[in-house]
Structure 1
Amino acid sequence: MSAAGSAGASSVETAVPSRRTAGSPAPAPSPPPRRRPRRVLGTELRRGLGPWSAVAVVVVCGVTMYSKAPQWQGRWTGTTDLLRVMLLLCGPLAVAVGCWQGGRERRRSTGDLLASLPRAPLRRALLAVAPAALWPPAGYLVAAAGCALATWPYAGAGRPFLSQTAADAVALGALGVLGFVAGRLVRWRLAAPLLAAVTYVGLGISAYMDSPVRWLGPAYRHADPWDRPVWWFGPASMVWTAGLAGAALLALAARRRISALLPLTAACAAAVVLTQTGEGLWRPDPAAARLVCDDGTPRVCVTAVDRKLLPSVSAALTDLNAKLRGVPGAPDRWVDGPRAPSPGRNQGAWEAQLPNPFELSERGTFSDPALYANWAAGHLFLQGCSAEYNTPAARRASDVNSAVTRWLAPRPGATVLPPEGEVHLRRLHAMDPVESRAYLARYLAADLCRFDEVPVP
């Protein structure tokens, strides 16, 4: 054989693998490439209703909070409380998304195929529930961050209640998990909207019922701006909601369903602590109730949570204070907050109660300063009398009181007074400064509950 033939044969032998000899073991098949858990989780999170549910939560919270901005923008407690109420709308959405996600394998007829894979049932359930458990809380946290940024420039004392917001986000994720479990168990396409309606009713009942059980509902609203939650309120709420969701998921997919008893026990223990503590979950915050005063006469004092409203309150009461300044029996200062004014009318130096300035404020200013001054003048003479009001003397005293209030703090566009009240008001306007101050001193010194003693202008 020539050299060229030998080289060709050699190259053929090198290029073509030799046949396996008899009796030699077969080569082991190469294992299929394994996908990393992070890559699988990322795929699950990117597809389906998950991302859209987060967008829906942001839109629902954003639109609703924007429409109710005067109720929360300026107080951290108001922002946190109204965000909690948003769970009435976002909770049913999370449950519906979870229920639809739970029935995905049944709708696609892929349950048997997935069951044949070596992946554990609990791991498959965790991957499948991830979009419903993570996306709605993510959208809620984005909306909460936006509301916090909107509150920051106008809020006074205090800070965001981050643990409460985190507990609400956990509750939203837990509702998604519970909806997923229901979707796995209920073979009905209309289960998602029906379960959302039931969730809305349940959250609404728990939020407004007069029972210790209301502290377990994530949508319950505590509206006192001078309180703060105890430090463990948020974590206990997380244990309660996450424990229920974890127990339901373990009972559905774990190899040993008895393992569901551990999170269920933790949830029950947290529920007992929350219901037994009750109103004690919120405690007075001295820093929030601290008075901040101006230098006027009478002085105007608001609590630290509304300290940024103090210039607006002082400006609204400028004309009213000018008429009260130096008059015997006039208040030494106006006060607002949880503390009661003291010692009272006709007892020397006293404090008059201010109306809540937050009710008429919007982004740090008053929408109607004249109305606020009129409210303050009405509070000046507000007394609870046990006498009979349906008498001629009582009606006359009421007309005089309305005229004096309107004279101290006139409000353009207000309703017309009764005929007798208009007569009294014209007489007050006709007085010179000395006469009007002398009459106001007599009026402040009178017992307004003794209608016959109320001086007539």
Structure 2
Amino acid sequence: MKTARTSSGSPADAPAAATATTSAAVRRVRPLRGELVHGIGPWTGAAVLVTVLIVMNAHTQSPFAWPSRRGELTELLRGAGLVIGGPLSAAAGCWHGGRERRRRTLELRRSFARGGMRQALVAAAPAALWPAVGYLLAAAVPLLATWPYSDGGLSHLALPLADALALAALGVLGFVAGRLVPWRLTAPLAAVMVFLLIATVRSGYGQDPSPLNPADVHDFAWDRPVWWFAPASAGWLGGLAAAALLLYAARRRATALVPLTVAVGCAAALVSAGPGLWRPDPGAARLVCDDGTPQVCVTAVDRALLPAVSAALADLNDRLRGLPGAPVRWVDGPRPPTSDEAQLPSPGPESARGRLKNPQQYGHWAVQYLFSETCEPSDHDPENPAWRRASDINSAVIQWLSPPGSAGADPLPETREYVDRLNAKPPAGQRDYLARYLTSDTCRADQVPVP
């Protein structure tokens, strides 16, 4: 009877080699799997997911009424995800990093056969992965819900990915802080510090965003980020987190210079670019118009709202159609309207999933824009009875053309008289008066016609 060969290349050794390889792979994966599915990690991801969705709904003032503009939605996600999720991620990472000190098992872990860097990577994985996963799931809900109604290109979609990496970096930084500072209050203090760093240094309205603050927002709807903004933003915080982890756990701490150099380079690029991180997007500002008279035109980022905007202005356009002095069309966008155009209120902030939140109120704002002529300071004389009368007539015409949709917005007594006069006129008289009012100089109180 022949026996199987036992040389290294014999077929008899193949099953044993495959079994050994499989066992080694299992031994490598099992500790990471155990770290990911146990402990505070999954709860952190769930907390970030729920908190971001709650903050998003609170900001929109009604459940699931998310903005239709993709750029505005991603900026809202940045604020909600990082101002709230950032402190959560740092605190959870800090608490997770101090686990061995609380259990008094840190020296036992250091005695394992695996290297210190490999142990640190496995231990820090939940602090980095779960906040990012929770944020991405929270971001996917409004992005998918508004996808059929949104426009503005794909350039904004890289920002949620960079924000998720920022949350992962904050989790790793918290993990390192928890390993180095053996104090139970380290986690809440880390959350407070991250919140102060992110929330209190955000730029205000009218100011340029801070390029190093991942939670800062850009409000201009017809801009797009440069292609390298998201990678540089991720490299800035990600490089800091990687450098901190290497300084803590690597045998050769000089290797931390590599991610630290990446972080400094990304930060320098962001700071030097400044406002140049955002560029005008001609495609987003392109006008999309209906075929009505006066014509209603919105920008391409709001083209899904054009039917709703046209419907909100339908009654107003019926009264303006064919009158001298009436606008030829309503326009929105970054450029100012011409002499025969009227400025349209931006429908984006007042929209949700392809519809206007309050069409009647939107029509009222449109009339206010139509009659909001800027007068010289010398023309304004509140003590002059003629000027006060002209101001009351202006309010009455706006109220008559399009009453506000908000509750408790009845006209004042001094305005009610003129509204009643206009309502009492026959249709021909109303059109005649509106034509005279449109062609008058409302900055000259003596030229404003009385109903």
| TM-based fold match above 0.5 | yes
CA distance in 2, matches of 1:110, 1:55: 27
Partner residue in 1 for 2:216: 220
| Among 413, 416, 419, the residue aligned to 2:410 | 416
Q: Residues 72-111 of structure 1: matches in 2 within 5 Å?
A: 72-85=66-79, 86-111=81-106
Residue aligning to 1:432: 426
CA contact (8 A) 2:202 2:209 kept: no
1:249 aligns with 2:230: no
Residue 393 of structure 1, CA deviation: 2.3
Contact 1:212 1:275 in 2 (8 A): no
Q: Is the 8 A contact 1:76 1:160 kept in 2?
A: no
Distance 1:74 1:212 in 2: 24
Shift of residue 334, structure 1, vs aligned partner:
0.5
Q: Is the 8 A contact 2:297 2:329 kept in 1?
A: yes
Structure 2: any 5+ residue segments left out of the alignment? 1-22
Equivalent of residue 343 in structure 2, options 331, 348, 353: 353
- The residue type equivalent to 2:368 in the other structure is G
Q: What pairs up with 1:4-403 in 2 under 5 angstroms?
A: 36-69=27-60, 72-85=66-79, 86-159=81-154, 161-208=156-203, 214-342=210-338, 344=339, 350-385=340-375, 386=377, 387-391=379-383, 392-403=385-396
Q: How far did 1:388 drift?
A: 2.6
In 1, Cα distance between equivalents of 2:139 and 2:183 = 34
Task: State the partner residue of 1:5.
Answer: none
Amino acid in structure 2 at the alignment position of 1:404: V
Q: Is the 8 A contact 2:78 2:216 kept in 1?
A: yes
Do the aligned partners of residues 65 and 418 (structure 1) sit closer, same or farther apart at CA in structure 2, a change above 3 Å counting? Answer: closer
CA displacement at 1:369 relative to structure 2: 2.1
Q: Shift in Å at residue 211 of structure 1?
A: 7.8
CA gap of 1:312–1:213, structure 2 versus 1, over 3 A, is closer
Which SS does the other structure have where 1:214 is aligned?
coil
Alignment partners' CA distance in 2, 1:135 and 1:405: 53
The 2-side partners of 1:420 and 1:298 are apart by 31
Report the Cα offset of residue 283 of structure 1. 1.0
**Contact conserved, 2:93 with 2:127, CA < 8 A, in 1?**
yes
C-alpha distance in structure 1 between counterparts of 2:276 and 2:119, whole Å? 42
Cα RMSD for the two superposed structures: 2.0
Instruction: Supply the distance in 2 between the matched residues of 1:188 and 1:231 (Cα, whole angstroms).
Output: 42
- Give the 3-state SS of the residue equivalent to 2:349 in structure 1: helix
How many pairs are equivalent?
A: 419
Shift of 1:122: 1.2
SS at 1:300 equivalent: strand
Change (3 A) 1:211 1:242: farther
Q: For the structure 1 residues 411 and 216, does the alpha-carbon distance in structure 2 shift closer, same or farther, using more than 3 Å as the test?
A: closer
Is contact 1:54-1:135 (8 Å) kept? yes
Amino acid at match of 2:183: W
User: Residues of 1 paired with 2:293 and 2:231: CA distance?
Assistant: 47
Report the more deviating stretch, 94-103 or 436-445.
436-445
**Cα displacement (A) at 1:157:** 4.2
Q: CA deviation at 1:147?
A: 1.8
Alignment-mate amino acid for residue 175 of structure 1 = L
* Secondary structure, aligned partner of 2:337: coil
Structure 2 counterpart of 1:73, which letter? P
Contact 2:110 / 2:116 at 8 angstroms: preserved in 1? yes
Which of these two proteins has the greater Rg computed from alpha carbons?
1
Question: Residue 17 of structure 1 aligns with which residue?
Answer: none
Aligned 8 A contact 1:79 1:151 in 2: no
Contact 1:157–1:307 (Cα < 8 Å) also in 2: no
Contact 2:212 2:270 in 1 (8 A): yes
The worse-fitting range, judged by mean Cα deviation, of 367-376 and 161-170 is: 367-376
Q: Mark the CA change 1:395 to 1:104 in structure 2 (over 3 Å): closer, same or farther.
A: same
Q: Which amino acid aligns with 1:283?
A: R
Structure 1 residue 212 displacement after superposition: 7.1
Q: Which amino acid aligns with 2:286?
A: R
AA paired with 2:398?
T
Look up the SS of the partner of 1:208 in the other structure.
Answer: coil
What SS does structure 2 have at the residue aligned with 1:207? Answer: coil
Report the CA distance between 1:160 and its aligned residue.
6.5
Identity in percent: 54
Superposition deviation, residue 317 in structure 1? 1.0
Conserved? CA contact 1:154–1:364, under 8 Å: yes
Tell me, yes or no, if the aligned pair for 1:329 and 1:444 is still in contact at 8 Å: yes
TM-score normalised by length of structure 1: 0.87
> How far off its partner does 1:438 sit?
2.3
